[in-house]
């Protein structure tokens, strides 16, 4: 049993019969936007915790795992990533990591909910340090509509840094959206999207791959990495492209002009080494 003299944030994954808890000391922020309820708590061991509709989004202590793996693998895989689109990503951590790449010339971030960025500026200011970079444009609009209306070949990389496929994010996991992304990507363009837990959400991961393939993104790579505050503590992202996805640019990654806490060429290759039960499930999708 959890100690009764503590206050706890609890997130239950009912379909998997599990839960994750953090000790909290106080609530720092609460605002109901037109789309979702955003809260921030101070925790005893994980720094600040942001939740959306009661689900953990990030903490001070471990967000680097997710943000680094959502940005650096794809940028060190594309041969020349200059034009980047981020769908979602309102906490701005992925934006911050992308802008550490000097070869990136422009980044447009489209998040539907300005309240998320407001909360991040207040309680995760280290993630928002690059918001005023002249290469960055932040818009608070519907990402589905933005991609649908994008000019063909507009982007080298599209990063879908979304919440789970419920509520405002549901459409970001559908075939129509992937078809629009395929059209918006230039030659050798790569889409990368967070693809949930390989352990808890393997069916969803396979469905995403199926929809990506049907939308013309016939080449895919899934990477896995730890993420303690997400269900199962084990997460993934999936890259997809119309063209064959090349090997990581290891020399460039090794010579990166910035420090990282998790990402290295080794963790990049390690993330691509899927366990057999995941690779078998995805192989079955590719053969359909």
Q: How far is CA 42 from CA 8, 26, 39, 71, 129, in A?
A: 11, 5, 10, 27, 21
Q: Are 240 and 205 in contact, with CB atoms under 8 Å apart?
A: no
Whole-angstrom distance, CA of residue 196 vs CA of residue 287: 22
Q: Which of 91, 111, 113, 161 is catalytic?
A: 161
- Residue 142: active-site member: no
The beta-strand segments (E) located in the chain are 7-13, 18-32, 37-43, 48-52, 55-59, 83-88, 106-110, 136-139, 155-161, 185-194, 219-226, 234-241
- The end-to-end CA distance of the chain, in Å, is 46
Whole-angstrom distance, CA of residue 51 vs CA of residue 58: 7
Strand pairing class (185-194; 7-13): unpaired
Nearest to 129 by CA among 119, 121, 118, 141: 121
For the chain, where are the alpha helices, taking DSSP H only?
A: 63-75, 93-98, 114-123, 143-149, 175-184, 202-214, 250-254, 265-272, 276-286
Q: Are 59 and 11 in contact, with CB atoms under 8 Å apart?
A: no
Q: Give the catalytic positions in this structure.
A: 161
């Amino acid at each position: 049993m959890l100690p009764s003299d503590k206050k706890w944030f609890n997130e239950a994954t009912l379909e998997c019969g599990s839960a994750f808890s953090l000790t909290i000391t106080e609530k720092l922020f609460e605002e109901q936007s037109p789309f979702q309820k955003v809260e921030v708590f101070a925790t005893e061991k994980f720094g600040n915790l942001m939740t959306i509709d009661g689900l953990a989004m990030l903490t001070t202590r471990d967000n680097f795992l997710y943000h680094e793996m959502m940005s650096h693998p794809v940028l060190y895989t594309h041969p020349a990533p200059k034009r980047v689109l981020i769908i979602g990503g309102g906490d701005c951590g992925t934006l911050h990591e992308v802008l550490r790449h000097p070869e990136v010339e422009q980044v447009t971030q489209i998040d539907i909910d300005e309240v998320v960025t407001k909360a991040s500026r207040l309680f995760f200011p280290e993630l928002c340090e690059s918001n005023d970079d002249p290469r960055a444009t932040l818009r608070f609009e519907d990402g589905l509509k933005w991609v649908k209306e994008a000019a063909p070949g507009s982007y080298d990389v599209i990063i879908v840094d979304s919440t789970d496929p419920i509520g405002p994010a549901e459409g970001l996991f559908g075939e129509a959206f992937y078809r629009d992304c395929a059209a918006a990507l230039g030659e050798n363009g790569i889409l990368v999207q967070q693809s949930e837990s390989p352990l808890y959400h393997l069916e969803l991961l396979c469905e995403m791959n199926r929809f990506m393939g049907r939308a013309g993104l016939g080449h895919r790579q899934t990477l896995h990495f730890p993420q303690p505050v997400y269900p199962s503590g084990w997460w993934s992202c999936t890259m997809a492209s119309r063209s064959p996805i090349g090997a990581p640019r290891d020399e460039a990654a090794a010579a990166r002009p910035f420090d990282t806490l998790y990402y290295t060429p080794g963790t990049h290759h390690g993330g691509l080494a899927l366990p057999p039960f995941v690779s078998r499930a995805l192989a079955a999708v590719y053969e359909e």
